[in-house]
Amino acid sequence: MNNSKLGNTSNVKEYDMAIERTLAIIKPDAVEQGYAGKILDDILGAGFKLLAIRQVHLTQAEAEAFYSVHRERPFFSSLVRFMTSGPCIPMALEKEDAIAGYRALIGATDPAEAADGTVRKKFAQNKERNAVHGSDSVENGQAEIGFFFTAKELLQG
Ligand code: GDP
């Protein structure tokens, strides 16, 4: 009796597992240099769906909280200074395999090691001022999207 219902449920599950969300940020260096439009063009051209976007100038407390996982690293205070140096553009993105797909689009943390054609290769200055952020896991993506956006602000459906 429940066969078709079970079949539908498992189909929906497979679909849900494939679609992921990531937080992207166009960082202050790229905004300041006028690269935001080109970077957004690369992101949308790669097929990411834009669920939410805003421009924000992070406070020191906000930048420290967002990068708290790096607080013991030697570059932490420099990173916080950089991220609070001007406005940045966070956005919530959705796509099949979004975490790996977005990281492939932006390239390695250090632009010197980033593949040709990647966002960081094209627009980053160095390992710190590296143009964009991307979440490194589905769980962190969810938490990082929640850092900048309420559930109501995300495009539905
Ligand atoms: P990501 O996931 O590729 O952004 O890299 P990480 O999570 O390892 O680092 C977070 C951010 O810290 C990077 O995007 C850089 O802006 C900065 N960062 C990482 N490693 C270094 C470093 O060795 N030196 C400096 N100055 N900044 C770094």
Residue ranges and CATH numbers for the domains of the chain are 19-56+89-151 (3.30.70.141)
- Closest residue by Cα to atom 3, ligand 1, is 109
Query: What would the mean pLDDT of 22-26 be, rounded to a whole number?
Result: 99
CA–CA dist 112, 6 (Å, integer):
50
Q: Give pLDDT tens digits for 124-143.
A: 999 999 999 999 999 999 99
Question: Catalytic residue at 57?
Answer: no
How many A from CA of 70 to the centre of ligand 1? 9
Q: Is the CB of 128 under 6 A from ligand 1?
A: yes
| CA-wise closest residue to 144 among 98, 76, 87, 81 | 98
Distances, alpha carbon 129 to alpha carbons 32, 44, 151, in Å: 11, 22, 30
Structure confidence by residue, pLDDT tens digits, 65-108: 999 999 999 999 999 999 999 999 999 999 999 999 999 999 99
Cα separation, 130 vs 147, whole angstroms: 21
Task: Decide: 79 in ligand 1 pocket, CB within 6 A.
Answer: yes
Mean residue pLDDT of the chain comes to 92
Quote the pTM value.
0.91
Identify the band that residue 18 occupies on the pLDDT scale cut at 50, 70 and 90. Answer: confident
Which SS3 state, helix, strand or coil, does residue 117 take?
Answer: coil
